[in-house]
Amino acid sequence: MLEQILLHHKQFSLKLREEPLKIRLEYLSDLEKMVMDHTEDIVQALRLDFAKPEAEALLTEIYPVLHEIRYVKKNLKKWIKPQRVSAPLGLMGTKNYILPVPRGVCLIIGPWNYPFQLMIAPLIAALAAGNCAFLKPSEFTPHTSALLKVLIKKTFSEDHVTVIEGGVEMTQNLLELPFDHIFFTGSTQVGKVVMAAASKHLSSITLELGGKSPTVIDSTADLEQAAEKITWAKFVNAGQTCVAPDYLLIHKDVFSEFRSHLIKKIETFYGKSDHQKKNSPDLARIISVKHTERLAQLLKEAVKQNAEITYGGDIDIPHRYVAPTLIEKVDMHSALMKEEIFGPLLPMIPFHEISEVLHFINDRPKPLALYIYSHSEMNIEALTKGTASGGVCINDSVIHVGNVHLPFGGIGESGLGNYHGYFGFRAFSHEKSVLRQYWLGRLLRVIYPPYTAFKINLIKKLIRWHL
Ligand code: NAD
């Protein structure tokens, strides 16, 4: 059955290649209308899936996709134009250009943490570039996934965009098929499975993965502001954000002062007592009981290895609640410091010198994001240039993802390729090289056999004269 759908998509994708800009823009407008008309339903589905607060649903799931669609619609005419390039002297008289063409039929696999945005944002890029798409949402957000299926079916023809629901087994079945491009958002571990599967058909891939994003607070930072920004970035979506600050590296001289600011901000945002925090409408739940158990286990093991909980620590597994929690004296070999935390647990580690921080980060897998809170140009430059990460955000956290002019993606274990804005259009396009020959091309006959001494001499001159 999947093969049959793919066959229809392949046929439809050939038609798409010939469609003018106007039609592509209409597809994007249809998608925009779908989101606008059903914003309430989407917010409701996200609430049912994991009590995502309405403000967070609007800000992190609805707004980014509408912003992206509108930006892409404004710029697509420019992006799809063939881009003229010059020719070397040896190819004098030829016309050369780069033609962005659709990849064909794309498979978009999504995670559960931003289950709407992370299906629709890649779809925008896929449609803008003229592709057909299979969407495979996460099985952990059944309400959002079911709604997505209904809305997409209403908006697009079946052979253009199709939602396939299901779990791991279904994803594995999809990965058996010869897609032209696979766009995967999820964990590093499953990213490796996707890459191996893509190699069977040599499908091109984009991997948007996760990891542990370090956050550095040096002694020159504005501590109160840093605390406010980090509190939001860490606890939005209950810490279940791929670019959430995973752990803090804090200069020893400001450590305790920064801790006080952090606690103050947590209490301003979510309430002072355990009861207030647990009942705060502004704190999302953990996606499932299983995921809550994993976080409880991470914390328990860390404490067993002598870590200290200096704030929070309240966990209610059946209600999938984990309190904003600060942890100190963590063992660097504990799972808490090895696995991506992906929840509201925040380890805090003191440092003496910025060189220690550089070593610490460079000793570990390349993260998706690095956050630097500092007013020292030297420290900012040392960290920005001296480490590798998908992106860097200075004196703020997470918000760099919201700039459509910046590519969003990881490096090494945090991902391969990138998207958003023009970069998304490129991810879903093949850049076809086109060379058109004219009458001057007859001169090229000098390079054809028989290779006389005169011709060899001519080639040697070409090399010697840097032509
Ligand atoms: P996941 O890797 O477990 O699942 C993602 C998708 O892969 C789901 O649709 C799932 O059905 C499928 N899948 C799971 N196991 C599979 C297997 N063995 N074989 C084939 N398919 C499989 O990720 P998740 O738990 O849904 O999401 C959390 C992860 O995603 C975190 O690591 C987070 O950092 C990352 N993430 C990255 C970004 C980004 O843009 N870079 C954004 C959001 C989340």
pLDDT attached to residue 158: 95
- In the predicted structure, residue 443 carries a pLDDT above the cut 80: no
pLDDT band at 465 (very low <50, low <70, confident <90, very high): confident
Same domain, 258 and 176: no
pLDDT digits (tens, 9 = 90+) for 393-412: 999 999 999 999 999 999 99
pLDDT attached to residue 255: 98
pLDDT attached to residue 105: 98
pLDDT attached to residue 289: 97
CB of 168 shorter than 6 A to ligand 1: yes
Q: Among residues 189, 38, 212, which one has the least CA distance to residue 120?
A: 38
Any domain includes 435:
no
Same domain, 62 and 195: yes
Q: Which atom of ligand 1 is nearest to the CA of 172?
A: 20
CB of 108 shorter than 6 A to ligand 1: no
Question: What is the rounded CA–CA span in Å between residue 440 and residue 461?
Answer: 20
- In the predicted structure, residue 17 carries a pLDDT above the cut 90: yes
- 188-201 and 168-175 helices, crossing angle to 10°: 30
Same domain, 100 and 218: no
Any domain includes 466:
no
Any domain includes 325:
yes
Any domain includes 456:
no
- In the predicted structure, residue 58 carries a pLDDT above the cut 90: yes
pLDDT attached to residue 26: 98
- In the predicted structure, residue 462 carries a pLDDT above the cut 90: no
Question: What is the rounded CA–CA span in Å between residue 306 and residue 304?
Answer: 5
Same domain, 174 and 241: no
Same domain, 164 and 221: no
Ligand 1 atom 15 nearest Cα: 168
pLDDT attached to residue 440: 83
- In the predicted structure, residue 442 carries a pLDDT above the cut 90: no
**CA 110 to ligand 1 center in whole angstroms:** 6
In 123-166 the beta strands, taken as DSSP E runs, fall at 132-136, 161-163
Indicate the SS3 state at residue 185.
strand
- In the predicted structure, residue 103 carries a pLDDT above the cut 90: yes
Stated length of the chain:
467
pLDDT attached to residue 280: 96
pLDDT digits (tens, 9 = 90+) for 286-326: 999 999 999 999 999 999 999 999 999 999 999 999 999 99
**Other C-beta atoms lying within 10 Å of the C-beta of residue 91:** 15
- In the predicted structure, residue 92 carries a pLDDT above the cut 80: yes
**CA 376 to ligand 1 center in whole angstroms:** 37
> Cis omega before residue 115 (within 30°)?
no
Same domain, 259 and 145: no
Mean pLDDT for 1-19 is 97
**CA 186 to ligand 1 center in whole angstroms:** 3
**Domain of 37, in residue numbers:** 2-209+418-430
Any domain includes 323:
yes
- Ligand 1 site-directed mutation target among 168, 175, 205, most atoms within 8 Å of CB: 168
Q: Among residues 373, 364, 408, 420, which one has the least CA distance to residue 393?
A: 373
Question: What is the rounded CA–CA span in Å between residue 214 and residue 244?
Answer: 9
- CATH number of the domain at 318, please: 3.40.309.10
DSSP state of 326: E
Number of domains composing the chain: 2
Same domain, 205 and 224: no
pLDDT digits (tens, 9 = 90+) for 233-275: 999 999 999 999 999 999 999 999 999 999 999 999 999 999 9
Mean pLDDT for 1-10 is 97
Mean pLDDT for 154-166 is 97
Same domain, 328 and 398: yes
- CATH number of the domain at 192, please: 3.40.605.10
Out of 379, 409, 439, pick the residue that ends a domain. 409
Same domain, 220 and 353: yes
* Chain mean pLDDT for the chain: 97
Helix, strand, coil shares of the chain, percent, nearest 5, are 50, 20, 30
CB of 351 shorter than 6 A to ligand 1: no
Any domain includes 45:
yes
CB of 190 shorter than 6 A to ligand 1: yes
pLDDT attached to residue 439: 87
Same domain, 86 and 36: yes
Active site residue 132: no
Q: 155 near 79, Cβ under 8 Å? A: no
Any domain includes 239:
yes
pLDDT attached to residue 458: 87
pLDDT attached to residue 402: 95
Same domain, 287 and 313: yes
pLDDT attached to residue 100: 98
Same domain, 315 and 347: yes
pLDDT attached to residue 171: 98
Active site residue 106: no
Any domain includes 93:
yes
pLDDT digits (tens, 9 = 90+) for 336-364: 999 999 999 999 999 999 999 999 999 99
Mean pLDDT for 426-447 is 90
Residue 271, both tokens: 């309430």
pLDDT attached to residue 258: 98
pLDDT digits (tens, 9 = 90+) for 200-244: 999 999 999 999 999 999 999 999 999 999 999 999 999 999 999
